[in-house]
Structure 1
Amino acid sequence: MKKLLGATLLASLCAVGLGSASALSDNSGGTTVAGLQDRTRRAVPRTNTSPDLLEIPEPENSPEFLKLEKSPGWKRLPRQQRSTINFTGGFEGSNFNGWLREICCSHSAAITTSPVREGRFSARMILRRSDGDVQGSKRSELAHYPVAANSEYTYRFSLFLPSDYSYDRSFEILMQMQSFPDSNLGEAWRSPPMMLRTAYGKWFLESRWDSKQVTVNNRPEGNQTWDLGSYAKGRWTDWVIHVKWSHRSDGLLEVWRDGQLVARRVGPNTYNDARGPYFKAGIYKPDWKYNPSFSSTSQRTIYVDAVRIYPGKP
């Protein structure tokens, strides 16, 4: 795994020429999930086709991922999900059924009754600077199965940042869509094709894509980053992501936050892999391993609830 530079996120954001949130996405048109998208006035974010500076590939052949691949329902031959995923992960069974937990410790993931977005339970995820490594870095995450390549899916989920979620220039990824490399072709792990992260008191969304059959040295053909503005603390933030996964020009990505369209892209949005991406939620903070002095925090806590993954449009 490549070593992260301390100012990784800042350099990455500068590379794509980000300005303020209002310069990237003007939602004054009031577009909602059910509304007309052409009513939303927004500037088109710049696209970066140079090598991305955010390099966070997953370690290959880790025990947890081998466990995931061998678990019931995982279709290994051919290397993509054959069955359609229609998943509700609201933790209402007071358990983590349907999830793979990528955690180090007993405090890392727990079912809780407060706060909850719907029903009676949610998942509390905790990551401490002193936690041991999981898959080579600092993480406390939940993962679900991959969808089929070139499929169309909607992902709904809610995240709660508590009032003590303090400002930090060092980023953490709170949701990502990771993708298995085609290891039979010699391909190594790469940064996720989609990630939602916080840094500098804001939300950032990034999409990465590559039409080549093998992505070399974690350098995709292109990526795009959206500055989504300040995050709210002490309340739930509802996310809806609609994706037509494709490494070609027929791809589509649409993202709503609290009912407002905040990002949209027509064109490629993933890697040229045999299997489609898989959903992950929780906390991943690589600076605590690779450049700990860049971060001013020692613990992150978030809550996850109301997860739904289903084929088609919202």
Structure 2
Amino acid sequence: MNPALLATCILFLTIASAHAQTGLLKVADFETGDLSQLGLQKVQEDSLTIVTSPVRAGKFAARTLLRASDPETNGGQRAEFSDGKKITKIEMEKEYWYGLSIFIPEDFVAPTKSNAVLFQWHTQQGGPSPVLAIRANGQDWLITGNPSPTEKKRTLARMPFEKGRWTDWVVHVRWSAEKKGFWTIWKDGVEVVNERDIITQYPEALGPYAKFGQYHSVGEVPQNIAYFDEYRVAGADGSYEAVAPPHGPKQGAAKAGAPSAPAK
């Protein structure tokens, strides 16, 4: 066999083996050097691009650019990556782990009248809001939940918004239309949300699909840029370590007063 081809095969098998051992279902770390790993929602050629700086790990990351002049697509102004059911099938009544790193530049202006959705989980058939979302609002990170058609959207956590550095998010969730679900969320290794025995998804055939990027109005400024890297999804046999970025913060102790993470 050609030595170059042999080396490529060995690398592929090594990566596949590592994914299997950690329960990984999807990795979008942009190390392919292009936008091929996920679905795209954009209106301009430069809405979504690959960059070599800043990066959370490896050689590449993704840049999202949203302008005030951008027309709407799919019901709003957005420059997003989509992990739909044709890419990663998410089932109801099962546990999943998600990891994503977000870099917000110093000149990013988060909306004050609404908020910028940066990481969200959306129903398959549509709903009034993402069932779970990590947002930027004014000077704060804002985490919201709206998984039930009979309940209003509510705030799960609010914390100071940091710019000029990577923020690492890990989410452990069981998607359920009954009060059998849970979600636990860590920011930079620190638990910031932990709820169990709750509804986490609309009563649909499949669980929600993940999206990340920028989804918000940019009317207050000419444009906003945000960077994303190290997106990972694992099943019930995954772990915090499986989806967290390489060399990122370790899973810390639970926040004071919060229940421990749900047992697998």
Q: Fold conserved (TM > 0.5)? A: yes
Q: Select which of 145, 168, 172 maps to 1:207.
A: 145
Q: Select which of 48, 56, 62 maps to 1:123.
A: 62
Is residue 173 of structure 1 aligned with residue 117 of structure 2? yes
Q: Residues 109 and 132 of structure 1: is their aligned pair in 2 closer, same or farther, counting only changes over 3 Å?
A: same
Where does residue 226 of structure 1 map in the other structure? 156
Q: d(CA) in 2 for partners of 1:157 and 1:120?
A: 16
Structure 2 residue ranges without an equivalent (≥5): 1-22, 241-264
Where does residue 128 of structure 2 map in the other structure? 190
Q: Select which of 98, 101, 108 maps to 1:158.
A: 101
What one-letter code is carried by the residue in structure 1 that aligns with 2:206?
R
Tell me the CA shift for residue 226 of structure 1: 2.6
Q: Select which of 178, 186, 195 maps to 1:248.
A: 178
What one-letter code is carried by the residue in structure 1 that aligns with 2:221?
T
Where does residue 17 of structure 1 map in the other structure? none
Q: d(CA) in 2 for partners of 1:110 and 1:249?
A: 40
Deviations 1:214-263 (A, max 9, x none): x4xxxx33543133311111100000000011121211100000000001
Q: d(CA) in 1 for partners of 2:169 and 2:37?
A: 20
Q: d(CA) in 2 for partners of 1:179 and 1:121?
A: 30
Structure 1 residue ranges without an equivalent (≥5): 1-83, 182-187
What one-letter code is carried by the residue in structure 2 that aligns with 1:232?
E
Where does residue 51 of structure 2 map in the other structure? 112
Deviations 1:173-220 (A, max 9, x none): 001101112xxxxxx54311111111121011111222xxxx4xxxx3
Where does residue 32 of structure 2 map in the other structure? 93
TM-score of the aligned structures, taking structure 1 as reference length = 0.64
Q: d(CA) in 2 for partners of 1:136 and 1:168?
A: 18
Where does residue 278 of structure 1 map in the other structure? 209
- Say how many residue pairs are matched: 210
Q: Select which of 114, 120, 144 maps to 2:83.
A: 144
Tell me the CA shift for residue 105 of structure 1: 0.3
Deviations 1:131-161 (A, max 9, x none): 1211131110000124112221000010000
Is residue 303 of structure 1 aligned with residue 242 of structure 2? no
Tell me the CA shift for residue 94 of structure 1: 0.4
What one-letter code is carried by the residue in structure 2 that aligns with 1:269?
T
Q: d(CA) in 1 for partners of 2:143 and 2:112?
A: 16
Q: Secondary structure in 2 aligned to 1:95?
A: coil
What RMSD, in angstroms, separates the aligned Cα atoms of the two structures?
A: 1.7
Deviations 1:244-302 (A, max 9, x none): 111212111000000000011111111111111111000001x45xxx4xxx2221110
Cα pair 1:255 1:264 within 8 Å, conserved: yes
What one-letter code is carried by the residue in structure 1 that aligns with 2:208?
P
Cα pair 1:207 1:270 within 8 Å, conserved: no
Cα pair 1:113 1:121 within 8 Å, conserved: yes
Q: Residues 278 and 85 of structure 1: is their aligned pair in 2 closer, same or farther, counting only changes over 3 Å?
A: farther
Q: Secondary structure in 1 aligned to 2:146?
A: strand
Q: Secondary structure in 2 aligned to 1:254?
A: strand
Cα pair 1:175 1:195 within 8 Å, conserved: yes
Runs of 4 or more off by more than 3 Å in structure 1?
A: none
What one-letter code is carried by the residue in structure 2 that aligns with 1:87?
K
Cα pair 1:163 1:233 within 8 Å, conserved: yes
More displaced stretch, 226-235 vs 245-254 = 226-235
Q: Secondary structure in 2 aligned to 1:180?
A: coil
Cα pair 1:202 1:227 within 8 Å, conserved: no
